[in-house]
Amino acid sequence: MSYYHIKNLEQYFKHYNKSIREPRKFWGKIAEENFTWYQTWEKVMEFNMAEADIKWFLGAKVNIVKNCIDRHLSKRGSKTAIIFEPNDPSEEAQHITYNELHQRVCKMANVLREQGIKKGDRVCIYLPMIPELAITVLACARIGAIHSVVFAGFSASAVASRIDDSQCKMVITSDGAYRGNKSIELKSIVDEAIEKCPSVEKVLVAKRTHINITMKEGRDIWLQPLVDAASDNNVAEIMDAEDPLFILYTSGSTGKPKGMVHTTAGYMVQTAYSFKNVFNYEENDIHWCTADIGWITGHSYILYGPLLNGATTVIFEGVPSYPDFSRFWEVIEKHGVTQFYTAPTAIRALAKESLEYVQPYPLSSLKVIGSVGEPINEEAWHWYNDHVGGKRCPLVDTWWQTETGSIMISPLAFVTPTKPTYASLPLPGIQPVLMDEKRNEIEGNQVTGSLCIKFPWPSIARTIWGDHQRYKETYFSTFPGKYFTGDGALRDEVGYYRITGRVDDVIIVSGHNLGTAPIEDAINEHPAVAESAIVGFPHDIKGNALYGYIILKEIGETRDKNNVAKEINQLISDQIGPIAKLDKIQFVSGLPKTRSGKIMRRILRKIAEGDFSNFGDTTTLLNPEIVDEIKNGRV
């Protein structure tokens, strides 16, 4: 029996138990049966959790792009690999077959080699969501260059810090980017960034918006003429299983961003496996993950996971609100999307709008809907389930992190019964545990604690680029011998996991530990509330008090905000207790968020405390302008 595709709950438990009892045998069989290797491993894994030293498939030789593209050509060469849906709905979508993708990736790989890029070199990719982004990522992996994708919305200083940290030799960018009704000048941002980055030798520039830009002689080169002149015959680099595949920066809560290093074979095996099972992917399905390839979600579930399974994946350049709030639903209908994977922050934004945007679309092609990036609150879960999934599509509420590489805890579509707000059960191979303040493992069900993973998994990040000590201290020192996720969780009566938010989002009020997530869930049940964020601020009597930032729905009636504030505190009092009531409530039009949808509570805490110094680089936020608005409206 193949371990690769789980068909029912009985099979899930059988595979899960096998993966815990015999992890080496379990992952070894999956790797052996489902991928193409130049040379197999001498040892499936070895690890030392105390030193944060983890290796998988030791001695194996492989190339991830051969597994993503080349091995599919004989059977799926004429199948669409990528559907590119442009920002402007009147611009024609592109359908790129596996044969075409192979040709374009090989040409790009030859361009990189001709421009002096070799195995182990770092390449910064700062491109919008256009086919060149996917092709460049895959071309880097094909020749063994380490790609570092930076979201094409970050400021020059954010780009510079990432280039400088990993000493990138080349930057690949475009003249500009389209985003809704705006266009962004990317090349000028790169020009400013690399003034401080002496490691950069070449800048390759794709054309997208056709604006006038400055090209520096000897450094900047237009990409397309190089690609046109390149051969499409390219031999993939033979990579060691533990060779770095990519660096992806994740914002540290303080200090400089952390460059998470993912290696080749373990990441390949587990992203492919998780994609297949969480989304129950079947041949001829059309998968659409709305994330940006600048984030781990895009790496794993727009590019690598789908292509490793020979799937058709959608790359979307636009935003959910352009030209109007029906864009997602229009795209699903247009391309017959079967799996739709998006963020709760997008769902909440769409749920705020009239149902007239979604109701005209039957969305009958959909089989599976999913959420990613943060825990999904109950109201958003039901809206998504009812109005998008039509109460017939399983909603896979996935929990994972940049550091984990792939989905860790999630329902498996058509296998695991779903429960609103619960990520449910761990995937095979994942061993979650809850820990108490004394660093003891909490046994049994109906318990809460700090979420850790007690055994390594193939797609775990191996280190922080250039700073293994920071990696060890951040993830392996709080609970020795275990990977600490930084999240709190509860385990219900049947063993389902619910993520309750970051452990550092626990606020001690009058000696009581209050997690922000349950309070926010209570607030969000108020019919006038779209979203909320709670932080603590110093209080002379309680030690800390609670400050609530509340976004109201744009509903037709005018509501007295004083009444709404009273009703919110009554809801909290009823559901959690009077101790959790908010001392201060500020109604806001938005919250400061990262591009992946995480609320930047550090900024909200500083504003609540009246400390307006050193917010950090707010240009990396999805909506940097909101910070001043919140600061000016502080109560």
Of 427, 396, 394, nearest to 409 by C-alpha is 427
Name the least confident of 309-313, 413-417, 550-554: 550-554
Please state the separation of Cα 204 from the chain's center in Å.
Answer: 26
Predicted confidence (pLDDT) at residue 580 exceeds the cutoff of 90: no
What CATH number has the domain spanning 9-319+398-489? 3.40.50.12780
Provide the strand spans (E) within 372-482: 395-397, 432-435, 447-453, 463-464
Given this model, what pLDDT does residue 164 score? 95
CB atoms within 10 A of CB 574: 10
If phi > 0 it is left, if psi is from -120 to 50 it is alpha, else beta; for residue 616 that is left
pLDDT greater than 70 at residue 84: yes
User: pLDDT tens-digit profile of 261-281?
Assistant: 999 999 999 999 999 999 999
Q: What is the pLDDT of residue 254?
A: 45
Q: Does the structural domain 510-632 have CATH classification 3.30.300.30?
A: yes
Residue 125 burial class via C-beta count within 10 angstroms: exposed 0-12, middle 13-18, buried 19 and up: buried
pLDDT digits (tens, 9 = 90+) for 459-472: 999 999 999 999 99
Question: In the chain, what are the domain boundaries?
Answer: 9-319+398-489, 510-632
pLDDT of res. 518: 73
Q: Which residue has the higher pLDDT, 54 or 624?
A: 54
- Taking each helix axis from N to C end, the angle separating 264-278 and 23-34, rounded to the nearest 10 degrees, works out to 90
CATH topology identical between 9-319+398-489 and 510-632: no
Q: What is the side-by-side strand order in the sheet with 447-453?
A: 432-435, 447-453, 483-491, 497-502
Q: Which residues fall within 8 angstroms of residue 205, CB to CB, at 6 or more apart?
A: 173, 174, 175, 187, 213, 215, 220, 221, 222, 223
- pLDDT for res 251: 66
Q: Residue 314: CB partners within 8 Å, gap ≥ 6? A: 82, 83, 84, 85, 286, 287, 288, 289, 302, 331, 335, 337
* pLDDT for 508: 65
For range 515-523, the mean pLDDT: 81
Helix (H, G, I), strand (E, B) or coil at 486: strand
> What's the pLDDT at 375?
84
Rounded to whole angstroms, the Cα distance separating 31 from 338 reads 27
Name the pLDDT band for 253 (thresholds 50, 70, 90): very low
Please report, rounded to a whole number, the percentage of residues in the chain having pLDDT higher than 70: 96
**Full-model pTM:** 0.86
Q: What is the pLDDT of residues 420-471, one digit of tens each?
A: 999 999 999 999 999 998 999 999 999 999 999 999 999 999 999 999 999 9
